[in-house]
Structure 1
Amino acid sequence: MAQIDYYLAVQSPYVYLAGTRPAEIAARHGATLVYKPLDVVQLFPRTGGKVRAERHPSRNDYAAQDRARQARKLGLKFDDPPLFGAVNPAPAAYAVIAAQAAGGGDLPGLVAAIGRAMWAEGRDISDDETLRPLLVAHGFDANVADRGMLMAAETYAANLEEAVSRGVFGVPFFVVGDRKFWGQDRLDDLDLHLAGKL
């Protein structure tokens, strides 16, 4: 059985655009999908990238147009910039890590709901008032992140180090063995690879 290591940042617009498709692809091929939330702001400078504020305006203008196009293609509401775009994403990342460790709920749905909360619903993904109801709605205990906070913080940091060592430089990023797929617009390639066609 193949394992897909899914490196993501919960606040990324491209992770929001990916939605539950990574999980659907994994299920179609009997693969295991392992979510690896990380600090993408720390990832960029360590792998030759720049955070958005440091990029040339022409790059940011193009990216904004492209994100809006992709959202329309996918039928997703997309508020750019989001109302709470500058919040600390760590609490939401910890919630995902703790929920994955606990098991038993709808993790793909939780990740998609966190993205939707930020990019379509104007909600603060660093706030317990946002995260606890999302955890419960997707079959997890509302306190799972509190109980697993130390483990989640350690895993969050370890995921960054692992990502750097494996050649990950952006999100969403999928690694299957030694094959790498970067971006929500490469999910079809991931699907074809798992089918043995690419």
Structure 2
Amino acid sequence: MPHIDYYFATLSPYTYMAGTRLEDVAAKHGATITYKPLDIMALFARTGGTPPPQRHPNRQEWRLQELRRTAKKLDLPINLKPAFWPANPAPSSYAIIAAQSAGGDVGALVHAFTRACWAEDRDIADDGVVREVLESCGFDPALADKGLLAGAEQYGRNLEDAVLAGVFGAPTYITDSDERFWGQDRIEDLDLHLAGKL
């Protein structure tokens, strides 16, 4: 059975635009997924990237155009300048880590957190928002409080694992054969790879 390590950031607009297409591809090929939320700003610092607010204005302007076009192509609503961005990604990430341990539709939860940030102008660092998103996806809202220490430890390990695995951006999908796919626009390539065509 194939396996995918999914490195992503709840602050990432590209994670938002991935939607639940990864889960569709995994189901098609009988693949399992390990969800590995990480601190994207720390990843940039570790791997030579530049956080969006520190990029040259030319790059920032292109990024906004690209986000607008991609969201339109995918028929997803997007606020290019969310009210709560960048927010502290740790609370939503800890909740996802706890939810993965509890079992349930973690893919829907990841999308709900990113949608809350990028389409609903909600603060994903706020405890009330974290609880509401958990509950809306069928999880116990008390997961926001459970396993905080374990969540923090796993969150830190995810960053270290990402650096060791060659990750430098989000979302990144890595198969058990170490094929790496970076970006929501590479899900189709991941699908072809799992089908033995790439």
Q: Same fold (TM over 0.5)?
A: yes
Partner secondary structure for residue 178 of structure 1: coil
1:114 maps to a residue whose letter is F
Deviation readout 1:119-161 (Å, 9 max, x if unpaired): 1111110112111121112121111131111111000000000
Partner secondary structure for residue 170 of structure 1: coil
Partner secondary structure for residue 85 of structure 2: coil
Q: What stretches of structure 2 of length at least 5 have no aligned partner?
A: none
Q: Which residue of 1 aligns with 2:97?
A: 97
- Percent identical: 55
TM-score, length basis structure 1: 0.97
Q: Which residue of 2 aligns with 1:127?
A: 126
Partner secondary structure for residue 48 of structure 2: coil
Q: Quick check: 1:195 aligned with 2:195?
A: yes
Say whether the 8 Å CA contact 2:127–2:144 is kept in structure 1: no
Q: What stretches of structure 1 of length at least 5 have no aligned partner?
A: none
TM-score, length basis structure 2: 0.97
1:99 maps to a residue whose letter is A
User: Which structure 1 residue ranges, 4+ long, deviate > 4 Å from structure 2?
Assistant: none
Partner secondary structure for residue 161 of structure 2: helix
Partner secondary structure for residue 135 of structure 1: helix
User: Is 158-167 or 53-62 further displaced after alignment?
Assistant: 53-62
The number of equivalent residue pairs is 197
Q: Which residue of 2 aligns with 1:182?
A: 182
- Aligned-residue Cα RMSD (Å) equals 0.9
User: Is 40-49 or 151-160 further displaced after alignment?
Assistant: 40-49
Say whether the 8 Å CA contact 1:99–1:107 is kept in structure 2: yes
2:151 maps to a residue whose letter is A
User: Is 175-184 or 135-144 further displaced after alignment?
Assistant: 135-144
